[in-house]
Each structure stands twice: as structure tokens, then as C-alpha cells.
Homo-oligomer: A and B are copies of this chain.
Amino acid sequence: MSKKQLKLGAFLMLPGHHVAAWRYPTVKADYVLNFEFAKQQALLAERGKFDMVFLADGVAAGYRTSAFEQQSTAYFEPFTLLSALAAVTSKIGLVGTVSTTYNEPFNVARKFASLDHISGGRAAWNVVTSHGLEAANNFGFKEEPLHAARYERAKEFVDVAKKLWDSWEDDAIVYDKENAQYLDQTKVHPINHDGKWFYVTGPLNIARPVQGHPVIVQAGSSEAGKELAARTAEVIFTAWQTLDEAKRFYRDVKSRMAKYGRHPEELKIMPGVYPIVGKTIEEAEEKRQKLLDLIPESLGVSRLSQQLGVDLSTYPVDGPLPELPDISEINGIKSRFQLVKDLADREQLTIRQLYQRIAGARGHREIIGTPEQIADQLQEWFEQGAADGFNIMPPTFPDGLKDFVELVIPELQRRGIFRTEYDGSTLREHLGLKRPANQFSKKIVEQKIS
């Protein structure tokens, strides 16, 4: 029997995950908004047999942050970019981040269904709730919606989307030319949803997605986030620094699934990993230092302040962190706050050391070394029950991704833990996730009744 295979995502954040990636010598001026460049990166990831490319997203420019002028905030919108990439790739999955707080379920369900049809079954939705006042202010809100309300809305939003995807049974379109019957009306279902947050009658105006539902991805690791993930998510992108905390999270979330009637295999946990690859350890260290040297102090402090929700600009940069507020007062990404705080406590880091540590990986795990050393670290987490795979966050594009594809992936393949060719053609097939049953299908309904 062949070995269990790990899953890999290529996290496309152009021109790189390092905060100063755009200043890197081999990065060109227009990499952020150049479709041809984005396409080359997706094709490179597909050449590496990645399960998927992943696009993060936000709905604010970050104009009010002190580091605005030093950061890239002008980028492609996920649906448009992923659809364009769908047309020029053939196998790789396409994961788009879309907010449930600032969209309507009919529009989102429809666009994902359309992307899934265009791509032949390669769409996935990273469900997020978009924190931050600047985002709220772009959508008619003068105050930011509360964390709890955003999660409650998100839960109902995903339920409505699933109903809409199921509103057309797979065989609803019969195409009977002779009898002028285009579809079987008994297999198209209004959903008549009337909930706390949404009133949507349906049906959707597009056939059921190729995958039944696009793959559902989540990133939040708060208590509410973990519970929603156990109930709903098929992939979790998460951030852990140590094997122990990653294992704890892995066991915690997977053990919550049974009460929702789900098997642990139905959810793939994929921590983010920020790899710096060198042919020797010295070469890798050199790359790392070159990147750190490109971070302006003001940007480093500002980014750290954002992550913690605390203004650090008045504290000595070579001194320790000040006293931090309790996590219950944080209305942002609670898990990220905790992670950065733990890292500072554990290693007794100064503000500068801390911002250098999170500048690239943004709290994700940094792994550095030769292809063998990097493969060792990935394999350890994979085999010890800390991860089903990883979301790879290259420091810069194209170099960082190219290093991973050309140096690390062949090493994982030699060890027999990563595919050398795609077996299937949909993202569900790549991930080993089953195609969901249709909740409105007559057969299913009858089975439930009997």
C-alpha cells in the first residue's frame, strides 16, 4: 500500500510573503498587478503538482495604518483573478477568500458555482468574516460589527450557500429536444430560507457545481472559529510555531467533528509554512538576512502593532513588549494575537526581534535550510499528527516558489509522501474529499424519512 500523501497549497501573495518582498533585487516593479506574472506563478505551482493555489483577501486598502506607503495594498480581486487563472491552468485547485460580512449569499454562491464550472471542478472558498473598522466603513457601517455577530452571520451564510448549490440536482437538466423540456422542474428546488440574517428564496440561476459544493476552507482558530471549522470546513489554513501546539490544535478540532456526524478525514489541517531554501544552510541564512535588512523599522513596528492591536510606536524598539490587553478585549484575529504574545513570552524577544520574526511569515512557521532539512521538518509534522499538509508561503516570487518547486518537492516525492502526477482532475479528488450529497435530492430525503 502506498504511503499517506501530504497536501500542499501555494499561497500566492504577490510579490512575496515577506513584508519587504517588493524591495528584493529580483522582484520587478509591476509584479503586484501583472496578470501575466500571476499566471506564470500558477503554472509553476501546477508544474510542482500543488493541490491548490490560495488567495487571501481583504476589503480595505489599509490606508489608515502608519505603514501604508511602504506596503503593497493594490492587488487583484480573487474571483476575477482565479477565473482568469482557471482559463490557463488545467489541474490545480483555486482557493479564493471571500467575506461573509460584506457580501450577499446569492452572489457568492453563484460566483463560486460559476468558477467551479469554468475550472471543471477546481474551486474552493476560504470563508472569512473580515475584521477591522476600515473594512466596515467601506460597506455602510460606521462601527465594526462584533466578532460574535460576524461568526453567527458566517454560519448562516454558508448554510444558505450550500442550499443554493443544492437547489439544482445534478441531473436536473434533461435537455429533451423532442418534447421541448430543457429541465426537469421537479429537480430544481426553491430553498425558501428565512433565517435571522438572510431571507433567500432561490433557486440559484446556475447548475449545481461540478464538485457538488466547492471545497470549504477556513482560517480562523478562535474558539468560535474552531467550532465552525469542525462543523463546516474541509480545509483549515492555520498558523502554529511549535509541534506541540500544532498537535494540540489538530486533535482538538478533529475531535469536535464527531458531534456533527463527520469523520476526521473529511477535514485537512494545513498550517502555513514560510520556507527559506538554500543549497546549503549558509545560503539559506544569507537569503534570510538579506530580507530582514530590507524591513524599515517603522514598518516593522507598525506591522507588529497591527497584529497585536496595540500601538507600539512609543516604546523603545530594542526593549521588551509592554503589558498587553486580555485576549477577550481583542476584536481582531484572536488566534494571531495569542500566537505572537506566546512567541514573545517564550523567547523573551525585544520589539525589533519580534517584528523581524513575524515580518515574513506573519506569525506562521518559518523553516529554513537545505531541501532535505525542510523536507525533514514538513515530514515530522505530517507524520506526528500535527498537519495533513501545508500552505506554502514563499518569501518572494518567483524565486521563493521556484526554490520550493525545484528543490523541496522532488525531495518530498523521493520520500514517497507527495504525488508525482495528479490522479484526478477536481480539487476534491486531489484532496481525497468526497463529493457532498444533495440535501434536496428526493432519494436522500426519502432515506431520511424511512
> Given the complex of chains A and B, what is the CA–CA distance between A204 and B60 in angstroms?
7
A206 CB contacts on chain B under 8 angstroms: 33, 74-77
A33 CB contacts on chain B under 8 angstroms: 117, 206-207
Q: A138 contacts which of B84, B175, B202 (Cβ < 8 Å)? A: B202
Number of interface residues of A (CB under 8 A): 78
8 Å CB interface, A198-233 against B: 198-207
The residue of chain B having its C-beta at the shortest distance from the C-beta of A297 within the complex is B180
Q: A59 contacts which of B59, B106, B115, B139 (Cβ < 8 Å)? A: B106
Contact B177 A23 (CB under 8 A): yes
Contact A180 B139 (CB under 8 A): no
A182 CB contacts on chain B under 8 angstroms: 22, 69-72
8 Å CB interface, A42-90 against B: 58-63, 68-77, 79-88
> Given the complex of chains A and B, what is the CA–CA distance between A139 and B164 in angstroms?
13
Interface 9-residue window, one of A184-192, A245-253, A392-400: A184-192
Q: A205 contacts which of B75, B103, B204 (Cβ < 8 Å)? A: B75
Interface presence of A137 (CB below 8 A): yes
A62 CB contacts on chain B under 8 angstroms: 205
> Given the complex of chains A and B, what is the CA–CA distance between A294 and B182 in angstroms?
13
> Given the complex of chains A and B, what is the CA–CA distance between A106 and B137 in angstroms?
10
> Given the complex of chains A and B, what is the CA–CA distance between A106 and B33 in angstroms?
19
Contact A203 B23 (CB under 8 A): no
Contact B77 A138 (CB under 8 A): no
Given the interface pairs A185-B68, A185-B69, the reply to whether A200 lies near B87 with Cβ below 8 Å is no
Contact A61 B204 (CB under 8 A): yes
The residue of chain B having its C-beta at the shortest distance from the C-beta of A167 within the complex is B61
Contact A35 B87 (CB under 8 A): yes
Contact A117 B76 (CB under 8 A): yes
> Given the complex of chains A and B, what is the CA–CA distance between A173 and B69 in angstroms?
9
8 Å CB interface, A1-50 against B: 20, 22-23, 29, 33, 35, 39
> Given the complex of chains A and B, what is the CA–CA distance between A227 and B448 in angstroms?
56
Q: A114 contacts which of B63, B77, B86, B204 (Cβ < 8 Å)? A: B77
The residue of chain B having its C-beta at the shortest distance from the C-beta of A181 within the complex is B69
A201 CB contacts on chain B under 8 angstroms: 134, 137-138
Interface presence of A380 (CB below 8 A): no
A323 to chain B, nearest CB (A): 30
> Given the complex of chains A and B, what is the CA–CA distance between A77 and B108 in angstroms?
10
> Given the complex of chains A and B, what is the CA–CA distance between A72 and B82 in angstroms?
26
The residue of chain B having its C-beta at the shortest distance from the C-beta of A28 within the complex is B175
Q: A180 contacts which of B83, B107, B111, B299 (Cβ < 8 Å)? A: B299
A29 CB contacts on chain B under 8 angstroms: 175
The residue of chain B having its C-beta at the shortest distance from the C-beta of A113 within the complex is B77
Taking beta carbons and an 8 Å cutoff, which residues of A are in contact with B? 20, 22-23, 29, 33, 35, 39, 58-63, 68-77, 79-88, 102-104, 106-107, 110-111, 113-115, 117-118, 120, 134, 137-142, 168, 173, 175, 177, 180-185, 188, 190, 198-207, 294, 296, 299
- Top 6 nearest A-B pairs (CB, nearest first) are A83-B83, A77-B114, A84-B87, A80-B114, A87-B87, A137-B201
- Besides A59-B107, A71-B182, A137-B199, 20 other CB < 8 A contacts? A20-B180, A23-B177, A23-B180, A33-B206, A39-B87, A59-B110, A61-B204, A77-B206, A80-B111, A81-B114, A82-B83, A84-B84, A85-B87, A87-B87, A102-B107, A134-B201, A140-B199, A180-B294, A180-B296, A180-B299
